[in-house]
Amino acid sequence: MISKQQISEIISKYDQENLAIATVCSHSSLQIFDGARKEGLKTIGICVGQPPRFYDAFPKAKPDEYIVVESYADIPKIAQELVEKNAIIIPHGSFVEYMGAKNFAELPVPTFGNREVLEWESDREKEREWLEGAGIHMPKNVPDPKDINSPVMVKYYGAKGGRGFFIAKTYEEFLENIDPNEKFTIQEFILGTRYYLHYFYSPLETEGYSLSEGTLEMLSMDRRVESNADEIFRLGSPRELEEAGIHPTYVVTGNVPLVARESLLPLIFSLGEKVVEESIKLFGGMVGPFCLETVFTDHLEIKVFEISARIVAGTNFYISGSPYADLVEPDLSTGKRIAKEIKLAKDMGQLDKILS
């Protein structure tokens, strides 16, 4: 991974009155560009082949300029150009995925957030170490299928993008469904309702919900729309579908907005707080937006099944604010919050704290 020191040197040569934010034209880029524009930062859209025409339909999100690459794997080739344009990269889920984690780790361009988080988040074992170390409740692992005595989610190795899972309620159901040629993991299935909680952590000294260092915000929440799992009940029950050879899948196609029961907010903040505090201990701390992917049970417990340590697409609904962000300031998207953080850090002379 490129060192903090190297990034600091690059930043020190930036024309800080002409910073630009740059990201790949996908995932949550509309709000990232819109937010930067609102805060008066320049915007650079990185794209493959040619500029995507759909930005023409969204003038407020259209980047000031595009840099076209042949493939996302070529992004390292434009590093120098990005640096010359005083660019700060805003990584989103697709950015890292398209480019490859290794390429991303080495990219010699200042990047919003702490790149060290990547290794903690992308490795299931380390993620569990982090979250459970923070005192977060996660679904339990079930190492031996014979121990299945309540619903479980069975996940094949290399399952990706919402496929390669199945649900079993008993060992018998496990045996009926398992592909004996595949390696798998088994995790407790948490029955409840899914909430994706969108936080923002700032290591800068500002007023607000204070942690040992920095402050925490909760800007919005969503529920993912999963194809085909969300509507498959129209066709049949799990058993009826099994008989017909039809299998549920969990591919995210979009997001629905929602709010949580207000009496859960203390718990919601406490979860975010613990995750941040532990991240500071483990690797110097996350920076900026992160998302806890949770299930709210009918005992009003919150189980966390995953963390995303950057902007998630579930924030896309809230491009002009949310029921929570509106209580911070009007018209505050996560994209705009990122731009504000960059401007604030610049004004405080602390860009080093939020870039890596």
* Known binding-site residue numbers: 27, 94, 226, 255
Q: Which of 133, 145, 162, 284 binds a copy of itself (CB under 8 A)?
A: 162
How big is the CA angle at 155 (ends 149 and 159), to the nearest 5 degrees? 175
Q: Which of 178, 282, 328, 344 binds a copy of itself (CB under 8 A)?
A: 328
The two three-digit tokens of residue 223, written as one number: 């529920």
Give the count of beta carbons closer than 10 Å to the beta carbon of residue 11. Answer: 18
Question: Rg of the chain over CA atoms, in angstroms?
Answer: 21
Q: Which of 8, 185, 215, 350 binds a copy of itself (CB under 8 A)?
A: 215
Is 296 among the residues that bind a copy of itself (CB under 8 A)? yes
Q: Which of 3, 5, 40, 57 binds a copy of itself (CB under 8 A)?
A: 57
Is 300 among the residues that bind a copy of itself (CB under 8 A)? yes
Cβ proximity to a copy of itself, 16 vs 94, nearer residue: 94
Give residue 46's identity as a one-letter amino acid code.
Answer: I
Q: Provide the Cα torsion 354, 337, 35, 95; round to 10°.
A: 50
How big is the CA angle at 117 (ends 114 and 118), to the nearest 5 degrees? 115
Cβ proximity to a copy of itself, 82 vs 319, nearer residue: 319
Is 48 among the residues that bind a copy of itself (CB under 8 A)? no
CB 55 within 8 A of CB 74: no
Is 235 among the residues that bind a copy of itself (CB under 8 A)? yes
66-95 binders of a copy of itself (CB under 8 A):
94
What 8-state DSSP symbol labels residue 68?
E
- Report in angstroms how near the CB of residue 232 gets to a copy of itself at its nearest: 6
Helices (H), 53-212: 79-84, 93-99, 101-106, 117-122, 124-133, 171-177
CA distance 22 to 13: 18
Is 108 among the residues that bind a copy of itself (CB under 8 A)? no
Is 187 among the residues that bind a copy of itself (CB under 8 A)? no
Cβ proximity to a copy of itself, 13 vs 60, nearer residue: 60
Q: Per-residue x/- mask for a copy of itself, residues 250 to 289, rule CB under 8 A? A: -xxxxxxxxxxxxxxxx-xx--------------------
